[in-house]
Amino acid sequence: MLKKAVIILILVAPISTWAFYKPVRILMPAINGVTCVSDTLCLEDIDRVSEAGILYEKALKFVNIEVEKIKDNPRVIFCMTERCNQAFGFHPPAKAHTIGVSGIVVSPWGWNETILRHEMIHHLQAEQLGVIKQWRSPNWFKEGMAYSLSQDARPNLTESLKKYKSEFEKWLNTVGKENLWKEASRL
């Protein structure tokens, strides 16, 4: 009886994960009506491939030069509708989401180079620290780094995000950019 239960669980687990944890769908975006034109660039509206490609390349170049070289370029899915964004499990007001090192989903209102830089920095954090360590790191580090190093200059950030950004910048000045990842691994 226990053996049957384990076999059923093994068979049902992937289907349940796919149904109930929608971010895993980034691994097979075509099921959500998204077309991948390469391993790293997927779009709901293929007519905007040029615009999405330019955003991707500019953000990637910025992060590689200004922050640190990304080892494995992230897959980015550009949604044009709220339906697409929700198909991956996301809702407003977030403009984009990074799922570990699996990829990034950009919402219809997130087509912006600074926002994509921010998400690529989260991808870089997951590469450098590991997905679990990045996920468990303090918000002031995780979000503060992304807002600070992406050079996000939006004046309307919430007080908590401004505080995270300030805390990260103070910490970085203390440890030095050359020690960023070594010290981050200790958080």
pLDDT tens-digit profile of 10-27?
554 444 433 444 445 566
The mean pLDDT value of the chain amounts to: 87
Examine residue 4 and state whether it is found in any structural domain, yes or no: no
Percent over 70 (pLDDT), the chain: 84
Average pLDDT over residues 92-105: 90
Examine residue 9 and state whether it is found in any structural domain, yes or no: no
Residue partners of 127: CB distance under 8 A and separation at least 6: 70, 71, 72, 101
Examine residue 5 and state whether it is found in any structural domain, yes or no: no
Confidence at residue 153, expressed as pLDDT on a 0 to 100 scale: 84
Confidence at residue 91, expressed as pLDDT on a 0 to 100 scale: 83
Examine residue 1 and state whether it is found in any structural domain, yes or no: no
Range of the domain at 53: 14-184
Confidence at residue 92, expressed as pLDDT on a 0 to 100 scale: 84
Confidence at residue 93, expressed as pLDDT on a 0 to 100 scale: 85
Examine residue 3 and state whether it is found in any structural domain, yes or no: no
- Give the model confidence (pLDDT) of 121-176 as tens digits: 999 999 999 999 999 999 999 999 999 999 998 888 899 999 999 999 999 999 99
Overall number of domains in the chain: 1
Examine residue 169 and state whether it is found in any structural domain, yes or no: yes
Examine residue 88 and state whether it is found in any structural domain, yes or no: yes
Between CA 132 and CA 140, with CA 138 as vertex, the angle to 5 degrees is 135
Examine residue 60 and state whether it is found in any structural domain, yes or no: yes
Asked whether 154 and 129 are in contact (CB, 8 A), the reply is no
